[in-house]
Structure 1
Amino acid sequence: MSKKIRVLVADDQTLVRTGFRVILEAAGDIEVVAEADTGNEAIRQAQLVEPDVILMDIRMPELDGLSATEEILRHPDPPTIVVLTTFDQNEYIYRALRVGAAGFLLKDAPSTRLIAAVRAAATGDSLIEPSIIQRLVERFVEPAQPKGLPEELTSLTERELDVLRLIARGLSNAEIAAELVVAETTVKTHVARILAKLGVRDRVQAVVVAYETGCVTRNPRG
């Protein structure tokens, strides 16, 4: 039997934590090993139980989820953190990208999306709601109109640029593979090379580069 994905759920609402636990543990390959109702408790539990993935709410008492995320990611070999957000929290999303969150999930997302996000995070992939990306870009990224390929992207091949644009649309590795009609392992190789060439930690930060350089415009299919 394969090892279960160990998850810490950090949210100040008991019903939310309970609901997430029920949904995730029903998947069979996921185990909720701890819960936290404050940012400080999330930090403590992360050190205590060493989860693979943390679902981190933004607004929590004592210490907010983004400050907790930043602190947890300072430690060696940290877990992957997926930020839980709602549509009224746009102002926090860009900061979450910068501190190192590896994905975003709407708190009212379908159960299948929640499970997919945890599985993706556990394998080094990430799942970002396309609607969140679009709202992020509209709020925080100035539309760039580069003349030719921006310097940051000159080392990428044409196929890597294609993959980067699909990452920026919020597609997972499996979805990119289907779009390009290639194997998922091929996509993983492209993603790894893109991150290395751009000098970014994860694919979420690659999304920021894609929009800031104008590689992707505010129209996600542009």
Structure 2
Amino acid sequence: MSLSQRPGAVRPGSFGQSSRDGEPRAQAIKVLVVDRHPIVADGLRACFAQHSDIEFAGALQDAAHIVDEVTARRPDVVLVDLDLGEVDGLEVVKAVLRTRLPIVAVVFSDQRSRVGAALQAGAMGFVLKCATGEEIISAIRQARSGVTSMSPQLSPLTVTPLPRAQIRSVLSGRELDVLRLVAEGHTNAEIGRRLFVAETTVKTHLQRIFAKLHVSDRAAAVATALATGLLVAGPDGFGGQVYSFRPHNVAVMPLRQQAVGGS
């Protein structure tokens, strides 16, 4: 199968039609489902029909032409299973994101050990197939708004740690403070206020964190820190354990309203 890329034109933003009073009216979130099992797509279609802000944009049983499909259908969210037969669902996530279209991907799978890999691939969420309809809808809404979310059932979750050799150097105490606040959902501006530094200083710390963890964005940095034990999620937030590269039972971020992304 081929996941060839054909970049398309960028779709206009979330506000299109106007209401009677002239104010812009938010459009429904269009969701494309990629899953080998038609019964799953049928169940999601019925679930979406109960929410006026969610629109079922179709279903694909394979990913042979995923780039062509998202370019033509222009969904806002692609809900992707990891088990697609010949193609790994994470490759589908990467192919969708490479189009540079304003689309976010959410993984819909029971392969719990691949949460970190999914976030590193660019997914904005990981929802288990045992999740309730409301949890699925919540994850879709949050992903569309830029919030990385996980099914609450993913706590606790065993994540296979990355080899220490993959991390160039351990984070400094201040870098760990910044990463902990990122994991808790704070923006750069909020982090600056909490640490009494300028927002530009926070951005510099993030650039150094990305370089040391060999990642390119906030979500991947948090996933890597969880997998290696640099951050350990608990009921009181994300505690840091510098020099701890042993396996940990970590609680991945539950569904919440604060964004991990954003500046």
Tell me, yes or no, whether TM beats 0.5: yes
Identity %: 28
Contact 2:31 2:57 in 1 (8 A): yes
Instruction: Give me the CA root mean square deviation.
Output: 3.3
Equivalent residue for 2:124?
102
Equivalent residue for 1:80?
104
Contact 2:31 2:79 in 1 (8 A): yes
Equivalent residue for 1:65?
89
Of residues 211, 219, 222, the one that matches 2:226 is 211
Gaps of 5+ in 1: 145-149, 167-172, 174-185
Q: Distance in 2 between matches of 1:91 and 1:188?
A: 30
Equivalent residue for 2:17?
none
What SS does the corresponding residue of 2:106 show, helix, strand or coil? strand
Identify if the C-alpha distance between structure 1 residues 49 and 108 changes in structure 2 by more than 3 Å, giving closer, same or farther.
same
Q: Distance in 1 between matches of 2:35 and 2:173?
A: 38
Give me the TM-score of the superposition, normalised by structure 1: 0.71
Contact 1:143 1:214 in 2 (8 A): no
> Is residue 2:48 matched to residue 1:24?
yes
Aligned pair count reads 194
Equivalent residue for 1:49?
73
Deviations 1:168-201 (A, max 9, x none): xxxxx5xxxxxxxxxxxx6585489679544455
Return 10-19 or 198-207, whichever deviates more.
198-207
Counterpart mapping for 1:1-222 below 5 A: 1-86=25-110, 89-132=111-154, 134-135=156-157, 138-141=158-161, 150-151=170-171, 154-155=174-175, 158=177, 160-166=178-184, 189-190=189-190, 197=207, 198-199=209-210, 202-211=217-226, 214-217=229-232
Deviations 1:101-149 (A, max 9, x none): 12100011011100000000110112112543642xx3412699xxxxx
Give me the TM-score of the superposition, normalised by structure 2: 0.61
Amino acid of the structure 1 residue aligned with 2:221:
A
Larger Rg: 2
Q: Distance in 2 between matches of 1:204 and 1:18?
A: 31
Identify if the C-alpha distance between structure 1 residues 81 and 66 changes in structure 2 by more than 3 Å, giving closer, same or farther.
same
Going by fraction, where is strand more abundant, 1 or 2? 2
**CA deviation after TM superposition for structure 1 residue 12, in Å:** 1.0
Return 44-53 or 199-208, whichever deviates more.
199-208
Gaps of 5+ in 2: 1-24, 165-169, 192-198, 240-263
